[in-house]
A = this chain, B = another copy of it.
Amino acid sequence: MAATGTGAQELENHHSERPVQLCNPHVASLKEDVLYHFSLGTGTHDLPAMFGDVKFVCVGGSPSRMLTFIKYVATELGLGRPGDEYPNICSGSDRYAMYKVGPVLSVSHGMGIPSIAIMLHELIKLLYHARCTDVTVIRIGTSGGIGLEPGSVVITRQAVDACFKPEFEQIVLGKRVVRGTDLDEALAQELLRCAGELSEFATVVGNTMCTLDFYEGQGRLDGALCSYTEKDKQDYLRAAHAAGVRNIEMESSVFAAMCSACGLRAAVVCVTLLDRLLGDQIRSPHEVLVEYQQRPQRLVGHFIKKSLGRA
């Protein structure tokens, strides 16, 4: 929101706004910044004009799901009508898809930590160049549940690694660097309240395990490679459950680490497509899975509407 009052009021407003920060002193000295995987850049696009009003960024793996979301949220917020078209802002690249309506940006991130990390580096720089303030970022995704009815939604308390630690480890210049994976507790509770208000599907707050692999990395027995038994798998998943893990996906830890480092209020809301204690393969009919995938969208759509005073 642009400050519209007197100089003193403007100053006050600016003081209460939380800008998007980079943790990189080098970017300020770049003459031009090419956001390569978005096919956008400071030299070719007026980023403040395009994105300066963004307050909510929703991210998810699948490009078509993020298009569905922007259409849904546009209708919910009264900013569009069914049948409206939303052009892909990143159409110059096929790495990610990006859509916008009003204060809401919807971006796909592909699968896995490296893929979402590239997107987040460029997204955070985009929000910084656009001089956005008070931005909330929410991942709306799919996951495997542990001990939950398929279709349940998990709001992440802590993102943990494959050893159940709330850490994100990466190798920087050949050395191990460990970052925390804190998410915004108040935001998670607010999302849980929204789920209660909707009262359309089971929703819990729990830990989310973030792995680097979908098959062996999540204890599946149905990959091309597997060197353990059903019992080993069950022991591992039950240990995860005992550590508070309620679902497993592949992006939450780096998402939490990067958003937290850059002053972005962040949450992870994933639906569970199956209960991993009962199997590995996703066998529900297509239309059931499609409805499951709409649940995080409906929850976050309600949250945004409420935040904007329109619910």
Query: Is there a chain B Cβ closer than 8 Å to A224's Cβ?
Result: yes
Judging by beta carbons under 8 Å apart, are B174 and A214 in contact?
no
Max count, chain B CB within 10 A of own CB: residue among A110, A211, A233: A110
| In the complex, chain A residues 200-253 whose Cβ is within 8 Å of any chain B Cβ | 211-217, 219, 221-228, 232-233, 235-236, 239, 250
Contact status A216-B250, CB under 8 Å? no
Whether A113 sits at the interface, judged by CB under 8 Å, is yes
Residues of B contacting A239 in the complex (Cβ-Cβ under 8 angstroms): 174
Minimum C-beta distance from A30 to chain B (A)? 6
Whether B228 contacts A173 by the Cβ 8 Å rule is yes
User: Which of B111, B172, B173, B211 contacts A171, CB < 8 Å?
Assistant: B211
Cα A30 to Cα B282 in complex, Å, equals 13
Is the C-beta of A22 less than 8 angstroms from some C-beta in chain B? Answer: yes
A213 near B162 (CB under 8 angstroms)? no
- Which positions in A face B, CB cutoff 8 Å? 22-27, 30, 33-34, 36-37, 61-64, 92, 94-95, 110-115, 117-118, 120-122, 124-125, 128, 161-164, 170-174, 177, 211-217, 219, 221-228, 232-233, 235-236, 239, 250, 258, 261-262, 281-283, 286
